[in-house]
Amino acid sequence: MLGTRRAKREKLTERITTVLAAERPLREFAGNVSRIAKYAIDEANTLSLERVEIKLFRLPKKLDGFRIIHLSDIHHSPLTGLEHIGRAVKIANRLKPDMFVLTGDYVSHEPEYIEPVAEMLGKLSAEFGTYACLGNHDHWTDGSNVTSALRANGINVLINEGFRFTVRDASFWLAGVDDHMVGRTDLPAALKGSYPDEFKLLLAHNPIIFRQCVRAGIDLTLSGHTHGGQIRIRDSRNRIIRRRRTAGLHRRKDSQIYITRGIGTVILPVRYQCPPEISLLELRSE
């Protein structure tokens, strides 16, 4: 009888030891998740400067070295505060580009955030101005109000339209299309009046239209929308797993697209291995 009780106690001790051993990895995992979550929240409030040189065959020689700062996906909302946006504006102005371009999603869903973000973006100051297009979230909130607020603050909003941008005794076609996701993109309208052989720069929130841009002979398209994935995962070899054309510079035939990771966040106020981006693009004549 005594031997039986001793054997039961020993088995119970073994079970407890086994359970505790099994819980240790779980505790470590929980600790790792907590650290990753804190890192992801902190990263969403950082800003990364990406300096990119883009070689363009049809860019006029007199515009070699033309500098553009590209900002996108501001997403002013409860998740992305005006202080964070203001830091981006301040840094961008210090870089003294020739021109600013904005490629949509200035707010997420709440109309009360439109006017404050428009006023903040109106503080961007470059010799040749600021040009913009709209994104899907702008339309989901109030596209007309977003357009009016941006224009009231000195920002040129291009909605399926373009014009011959003349500077430094040279010119190119600057155009912007409305958002693809809400079915308002009209690329032919944006190119109406352009010459077949002139350099063309297009602002388009959603990079999904890049194939159309290639066929239409657009030299450079600037887009956002993807947030670079917002959360990037690494594989077993510690390499970032990338989805096709979510961020950076890409080429197809004679056409190129630059996709910025953007400034803000949606759904969750986090970014992981994908920091907010201020894009400084230097155009070079090949």
Torsion, Cα of 49, 54, 60, 64 (10° steps) = 50
Query: What integer pLDDT is reported at residue 232 of this predicted model?
Result: 79
Count how many domains the chain has. Answer: 1
Query: What integer pLDDT is reported at residue 33 of this predicted model?
Result: 54
- What are the tens digits of pLDDT across the range 200-238? 999 999 999 999 999 999 999 999 999 998 887 755 455
- 28 has pLDDT over 60: no
Query: What integer pLDDT is reported at residue 42 of this predicted model?
Result: 85
Instruction: Give the sheet arrangement for strand 99-103, strand by strand.
Output: 48-56, 277-285, 66-71, 99-103, 130-133, 156-157
Query: What integer pLDDT is reported at residue 17 of this predicted model?
Result: 52
- What are the tens digits of pLDDT across the range 148-182? 999 999 999 999 999 999 999 999 999 999 999 99
One-letter amino acid of 57: F
Backbone angles phi, psi at 250, to 5 degrees: -135, 150
User: CB–CB of 132/102 below 8 Å?
Assistant: yes
- 20 has pLDDT over 50: no
| Residue 38 counted as domain residue | no
Read off the CATH number of the domain in which 173 is found: 3.60.21.10
Confidence band (pLDDT; 50, 70, 90) for 19? Answer: very low
Q: Which residues have a Cβ under 8 Å from the Cβ of 144 and sit 6 or more positions away?
A: none
- What are the tens digits of pLDDT across the range 114-129? 999 999 999 999 999 9
Query: What integer pLDDT is reported at residue 221 of this predicted model?
Result: 98
The closest of 143, 92, 80, 91 to 117, measured between CA atoms, is: 80
| Residue 149 counted as domain residue | yes
Other C-beta atoms closer than 10 Å to the C-beta of 2 total 6
Token reading at 170? 């040279």
| Residue 260 counted as domain residue | yes
Collapsing DSSP to helix, strand or coil, 100 comes out as strand
| Residue 12 counted as domain residue | no
| Residue 141 counted as domain residue | yes
Q: What's the pTM value of the predicted model, to 2 decimals?
A: 0.85
| Residue 123 counted as domain residue | yes
Among 20-29, 44-53, 217-226, 234-243, name the one with the lowest average pLDDT: 20-29
Among 59-63, 164-168, 186-190, 240-244, name the one with the lowest average pLDDT: 240-244
Query: What integer pLDDT is reported at residue 67 of this predicted model?
Result: 98
Q: Of all helices (H) and strands (E), which one includes residue 252?
A: strand 248-252
Of all residues in the chain, what percent carry a pLDDT higher than 70?
83
218 or 24, greater pLDDT: 218
| Residue 72 counted as domain residue | yes
| Residue 111 counted as domain residue | yes
Sign of CA dihedral 138, 184, 249, 231: positive
One-letter amino acid of 113: Y
- 66 has pLDDT over 90: yes
Query: What integer pLDDT is reported at residue 34 of this predicted model?
Result: 62
Q: Average pLDDT over the chain, rounded to whole?
A: 89
Range of the domain at 177: 45-285
Instruction: Give the sheet arrangement for strand 200-203, strand by strand.
Output: 161-167, 170-176, 200-203, 220-223, 255-259, 248-252
Query: What integer pLDDT is reported at residue 38 of this predicted model?
Result: 74
